[in-house]
Structure 1
């Protein structure tokens, strides 16, 4: 198992071994960030890029990789479009970049993982490694798994299992409305909710199960009106970005005061929009821990991020830190940036996160095995608020990595 103190010692040792090759040490290891930097989901993409670049700088301050080479994260705008993502992938490959990171939209992820696998088979001398930090369609590490794709976020099934465990404790809950975005992830969330509630609480009625166009709804008030009319006692949603912001605003405007069980109901204006109306009602399933931070090291990292970006100060995608730190460790372990060697080093890697969790990259499907947490939206006991709002996410419960784990149907084909 590796932590950052070991990483610093390893980086220093490698630096000694590479002093005879100053030109190599001068070349950065480039990572392509392929996510939305324009359009309705630009805020999510821009904040993700900033968090990646901050963690890259933290790694570089500790010695970088391979004896002093810096990690450089470069943004490529995919406009949340699978087609545009493939155009950007071609640019990345043409530029000689060997690692891509992407997380917003499982529709994009499905296109990228197929394209990367086909490209690597056609051109083994120009292989690319795909690190998925947030696209959680379960199929990506099941029937669509491939050797070049690694996921650093819990998949939708893992998250729904944790959410429905919480719902199961509320014996007064009798009806729930499911709403989500109309693409692979939204469909996966809805299917998991129906399945898990059916197994754990067959007495709960599904008052509605609705998908809406992703990134195109300007006014969510008609959807909120349907939820109110259904008599549902709670809402389950996987909405993210502009669609979660619009849903939250419409719920507040309509005075809909029922629990929301969510995947991404925080940050980029969402926490501020939820405000007082969501206190102790809005819950989110995710990874990491910010309130409390759990370790002094993580608290210091969060403070450094806020000092560097006082206006956009929220480090909310903790999985980004794991993604880049584990990549750096794999590069050093492999003593190479060659994707096949880095992939081999990532398989089975155990790593201690900034906040003290032990996570493992499962070799059989490249799905990170990790604790999953339930957070509640509140202004109580919040050290690190979000959106300059005074509200934040307080850890309410933790599901261990062992319990959060789900089986896989992946039949990994290795080169």
Structure 2
């Protein structure tokens, strides 16, 4: 009987110790990551894509024990509605939270560009999984707090021009740009790269966000002798131009070689059947279609379980999912390397990580003190829309392999 009592007492003590351990782990505060993106933008799907990539990565990290010896990661979301002033206010509000270690931005470059100096003022890492303006990472602020795993406009310009020349036989192009920081970034990049690509830019035309028609600027560059049009647009204005070009006679429909802003929203719904009447190709950095790595299969399984997305073709704004997933894993590694939730130490650690095999590519390493872009120009390819709104890669005969 005494032996039985001793055994029960031992089990009770063990149970109490286990409960105490669990309770102690539960008492550890979470490490917070902010996401400020354009959730209130009516036609955008990019913010939701970034959120999903982050949530899948956070779930994987937390199931393996979290960071810093058992602290869970937790996502804090704010909505800037694509308005720069709101983005800056949201960044300041997020930075007031002491356990929040970094803020991810959304698609809209003007918001992120306005946030860059504020992030450096506050000393908080600003993570860019979509926005592409060169100035997000190419600046003189030292140490730099902006880190990007995404396209750069310089790389986009090279791809757009080379594709127009090599695949659409266009030696003369017109350029249509938004009157924003993103548009100005692309204008500079295209002007710089055109000569190297052996292409003449016959004319540049600008439009404002919200314009109800772009056909006038399109016809202006066409009449200047453009054989193709380089389009820098989001889904709203892109959908407008696609519909307008589709309504023209066949002889007036030039190929549209587009930056990827149009893929960050409901372009298929906005353009309708016109999308199949226009030769539109868009720049991309990742596709789940044909991706067969264990990581891709794991992310696809999570997309189905969490969001009911059972096929790669159904993923909207796929680069947002993929980039945010990899960037979240990279940030978690930096948190552990820093050994604390101190933002400065995490910033330093982001520059000193080892290789990481991610969803998009192998990073060797993701960042260095002199390079805060995790991707490169060799990751860029072109894609087009199918009738079911699926975005599929386009074969490119002379594209250099990664």
What's the TM-score, normalizing by structure 2? 0.79
Distance verdict in 2 for CA 1:211–1:59, change over 3 Å: farther
Report the equivalent of 2:9.
Answer: none
Match of 2:5 in 1: none
CA distance in 2, matches of 1:392, 1:328: 30
**Map 1:141-156 → 2, pairs under 5 A:** 141-146=137-142, 147-156=144-153
- Rate the CA distance shift 1:280–1:374 in 2: closer, same or farther, 3 A: farther
**Partner residue, 1:304:** 302
Match of 1:72 in 2: 74
2:233 to 208, 215, 239: 239
1:83 match: 85
Residue 364 (structure 1) aligned with residue 370 (structure 2): yes
Corresponding position: 1:283 with 2:281:
yes
Equivalent residue, structure 2, for 1:118: 121
Q: CA deviation at 1:82?
A: 2.1
Provide the residue aligned with 1:376 in structure 2. 383
* 1:106-125 Cα shifts (integer Å, max 9, x gaps): 322222111121223xxxxx
Structure 2's unaligned 5+ residue stretches are 1-20
Matches within 5 A, 1:266-345: 266=263, 268-271=265-268, 273=271, 277-278=275-276, 281-310=279-308, 313-314=315-316, 316=318, 317=320, 318-345=322-349
- Is the 2:56–2:299 Cα contact (8 Å) retained in structure 1? no
Residue-by-residue CA offset, 1:206-238 (whole Å, 9 max, x unaligned): 233112113x22333444444554452211123
The reply to whether residue 55 of structure 1 matches residue 57 of structure 2 is yes
> Is it true that 1:167 corresponds to 2:164 in the alignment?
yes
SS of structure 2 residue aligned to 1:34: strand
Question: Which residue of structure 2 lines up, in the alignment, with residue 394 of structure 1?
Answer: 393
- Does the CA-based 8 Å contact 1:132-1:149 persist in structure 2? yes
In 1, Cα distance between equivalents of 2:400 and 2:106: 23
Alignment of 1:207-218 (within 5 A): 207-214=202-209, 216-218=210-212
1:261 matched to 2:263: no
**Contact 1:43–1:241 (8 Å) recurs in 2:** no
Residue 354 (1) aligns with residue 359 (2): yes
Moved over 6 A (4+): none
Secondary structure of the residue aligned to 2:380 is strand
| Number of aligned positions between the proteins | 365
Does the 8 Å contact 2:45/2:316 carry over to 1?
no
Structure 1 length normalisation: TM-score? 0.77
Report how far residue 245 of structure 1 moved.
3.2
Change in 2 beyond 3 A, CA 1:250/1:307 = farther
Query: Which ranges in structure 1 are unaligned for 5 or more consecutive residues?
Result: 1-18, 121-127, 380-387, 402-415
**Deviations, residues 316-361 of structure 1 (Å, cap 9, x unaligned):** 1221112111011111222222112211221143322125443531
Name the residue aligned to 1:99. 102
TM superposition shift of 1:297: 2.9
Q: Output the CA distance in 2 between the equivalents of 1:158 and 1:25.
A: 46
In our comparison, the structure showing a higher alpha carbon Rg is 2
